[in-house]
Amino acid sequence: MIIDKLFETVAKKGHVCLGLDTSIDYLPENFKNQFDNEEDAIFNFNKKIIEATKDIVACYKVQIAYYEALGLKGLNAYKKTLDYIKSTQNIIISDVKRGDIAKTAEMYAKAHFEGDFETDFITLNPYMGFDTLEPFLPYLKNKEKGIFALLKTSNPGFKDIQFIESKNGKKVYEIIGEKISSIAQNYMGNNEYSSLGAVVGCTSTEEGQNVRNTLKNIFFLIPGYGAQGGAAEEVSVYLKNKNGGVVNSSRGILLGYKKYDNGEKNFDECARKETLKMRDDILNVL
């Protein structure tokens, strides 16, 4: 199953999930000016980042909104990016955060698990109800695909809904977690984790140990490291035996070149340096 491949990759290459949330504004001016259009500029920027980091990341997370914002040319850059990552034999998480029901959800599943935008994992939002997951689940068993469902996010307003307490004293995110864990048992890999994983932000660790202890078989996608304020110590709470999750960083790596003198000329090498720093930072804490 795809989760076994991700588990084994983390064991070999570390926990870094490099986020290709590529805004045209992130590209160094001299590089951007080499291209006639934004589609080619963004794809070639991504390509250089991927080439520089493909041997030291566990996976890439491609946030579709950055590409949708540019219309058809942006979606073409998105497809080219997915195809190029596939050519390097690396794992892709497409960050699409879909959350709908019935036929609409079925079409979202087809859009991202088949065809031009086919990927390995996608992010889903189950807060509309667990029937939002159902059309995607057959792909986990039959098509070697995976899901990361939003559980406890890293945004400032996560407590607005996720921390509301039910009549029995459990918070909403805890109820969501129990249900995810229950469904996940039907899609277990060989390394004790399920292909139905969860998104847990590392910017709040008060409940982190409880989440990890409760969701023993759930592999985590962990945003919040770096630019969002999360540190390796906070990340480590959500990992288990040096595995069990990947840690995303986007701006911290894509804009890493700004930390170096003349970094714009070698932004890909700077991205590699920042990736190695992040990988070793996490491993040292573990």
- Which residue of the set 97, 110, 179, 277 is catalytic? 97
Distance CA(121)–CA(195), nearest Å, equals 9
Q: Is residue 97 flagged as an active site residue?
A: yes
3-class secondary structure, 269: helix
Using DSSP's 3-state secondary structure scheme, residue 105 falls into helix
Give exposure, 79-108, as e/b (b: 16+ Cβ within 10 Å).
bbbbebbeeeebbbbbbbbbbbeeeebeeb
DSSP strand pairing (91-98 vs 59-63):
parallel
In this structure, what token pair is assigned to residue 194? 């399920």
Residue of 255, 247, 201 whose CA lies nearest to 22: 255
Beta strands in the chain (DSSP E): 16-19, 59-63, 91-98, 121-124, 146-152, 196-200, 220-222, 245-249
Residues β-bridged to residue 60: 18, 92
Residues recognised as catalytic: 97
